[in-house]
């Protein structure tokens, strides 16, 4: 009897040791791949935590010791974060009020964070600058504006934000803008106001292509997704969305759209928020890996990226508690049979490819003039907005220009389909 107990104990110890060694092998591979290819995360809301906790007074904030956030410098280094799109987010309540000012302040705080910690962060605006920062062992820091309400329906504001370094715009957040429907329309909790995009919304997509700004389709309706995929000359991104077939939240991407993202060579950067991972308050790292597996099966590894949504959500999966834990997810993908090339594609190569193509489209449109046709005043009229610059004659021109714009866009889409 004692001999059997000893043998059983030895067997259990051997199994445990074997499992540990196997896991160590996958983690070793994961860290090697992350040393060769930058992990590029599509969405982190640390700037909003600066707003909420410190009113953006980061002079007295130490990112080396900051607690109660998913992100700080030790966690960034442990997580091997090669590049991060920091979110310049302000709530929907700012729409028609001070959204532009507050968004500019969020852009400013990202710049100041990079200036305060030059040994850690390197501000970046291009695919090449991401690689340059990676070679210097710094986290490339890019900016994405989360929500079209931040523009106050102004193409000039879009252009100025681009000049300040913004490289993606999430078309909506969780509210309709005067020119686009948000994802809550698909839940039935809000009415559609534009049947997707209004004529001005389509102008905006054209102008984003011209500028070289990434179009982010997280938070929009499926109708908007398809409209943009129909008309954009450049590939699109989902900065923080997951697979609808795995978790049937309208914030996620349905299979037919995933296939279209593959056809147009875009990217879906997978969200870690429990409610979009399992459609419940609880989730595990393996549940997030299920989204990676599903999207790979449906549309290929070439459209996948990481979009953690850290510091913008209240619940994250067990095993992915903060940015330091991402290597464990990479190891899990390797354990599930992902090849080194597939993992490197998801880590950063896919996003780099998308950025390069967006930059190529921008360069091909360098002779196109900026769009200076404003949104019709009646579409944005509210007590906080003045009408300077608008006149009866201008309104007349706009009412005639909208059908002409739609005809132009239709012809453009037809030419794209024929090409």
Give the active site residues.
43, 45, 146, 173, 219, 240, 309
Percent helix, strand, coil in the chain, to 5, is 55, 15, 35
Task: Report the distance separating Cα 406 and Cα 198, nearest Å.
Answer: 10
Beta carbons of 242 and 219 less than 8 angstroms apart: no
Task: Report the distance separating Cα 236 and Cα 234, nearest Å.
Answer: 7
Task: Report the distance separating Cα 105 and Cα 99, nearest Å.
Answer: 10
SS3 per residue for 250-282: CCCECHHHHHHHHHCCCEEEECCCHHHHCCCCC
Say how many CA atoms lie within 13 Å of 199 toward its Cβ. Answer: 16
> What's the residue count for the chain?
419
Tokens matching residue 289 = 């890996």
Beta carbons of 330 and 338 less than 8 angstroms apart: no
Task: Report the distance separating Cα 284 and Cα 152, nearest Å.
Answer: 39
């Amino acid at each position: 009897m004692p001999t059997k107990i000893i043998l059983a104990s030895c067997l259990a110890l051997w199994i445990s040791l074997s499992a540990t060694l196997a896991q160590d092998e996958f983690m070793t591979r994961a860290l090697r791949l992350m040393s060769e290819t930058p992990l590029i995360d599509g969405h982190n809301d640390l700037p909003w935590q600066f707003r909420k906790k410190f009113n953006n007074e980061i002079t007295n904030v130490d990112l080396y010791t900051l607690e109660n956030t998913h992100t700080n410098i030790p966690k960034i280094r442990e997580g091997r974060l090669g590049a991060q799109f920091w979110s310049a987010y302000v709530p929907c309540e700012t729409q028609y009020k001070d959204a532009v000012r507050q968004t500019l302040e969020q852009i400013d705080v990202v710049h100041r964070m990079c200036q305060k910690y030059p040994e850690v962060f390197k501000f970046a605006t291009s695919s090449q600058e991401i690689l340059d920062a990676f070679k210097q062992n710094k986290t490339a820091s890019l900016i994405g504006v989360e929500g079209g309400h931040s523009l106050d329906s102004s193409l000039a504001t879009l252009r100025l934000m681009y000049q300040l370094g913004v490289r993606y715009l999430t078309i909506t957040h969780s509210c309709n803008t005067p020119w686009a429907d948000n994802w809550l329309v698909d839940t039935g909790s809000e009415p559609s106001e534009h049947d997707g995009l209004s004529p001005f919304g389509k102008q905006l997509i054209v102008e984003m292509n011209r500028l070289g700004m990434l179009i982010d389709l997280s938070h929009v309706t499926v109708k908007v997704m398809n409209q943009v995929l129909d008309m954009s000359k450049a590939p699109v991104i989902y900065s923080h969305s997951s697979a609808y077939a795995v978790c049937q939240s309208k914030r996620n991407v349905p299979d037919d759209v995933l296939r279209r993202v593959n056809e147009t060579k875009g990217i879906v950067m997978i969200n870690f928020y429990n409610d979009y991972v399992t459609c419940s308050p609880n989730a595990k790292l393996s549940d997030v890996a299920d989204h990676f597996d599903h999207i790979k099966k449906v549309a290929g590894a070439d459209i996948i990226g990481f979009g953690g949504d850290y510091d913008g959500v209240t619940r994250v999966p067990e095993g992915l508690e903060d940015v330091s834990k991402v290597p464990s997810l990479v190891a899990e993908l390797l354990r599930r049979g992902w090849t080194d090339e597939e993992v490197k594609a998801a880590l950063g190569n896919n996003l780099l490819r998308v950025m390069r193509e967006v930059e190529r489209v921008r360069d091909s449109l360098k002779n196109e003039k900026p769009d200076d046709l404003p949104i019709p005043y009646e579409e944005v009229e509210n007590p906080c907005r003045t009408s300077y610059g608008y006149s009866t004659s201008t309104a007349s021109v706009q009412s005639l220009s909208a059908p002409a714009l739609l005809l132009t866009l239709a012809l453009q889409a037809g030419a794209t389909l024929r090409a």
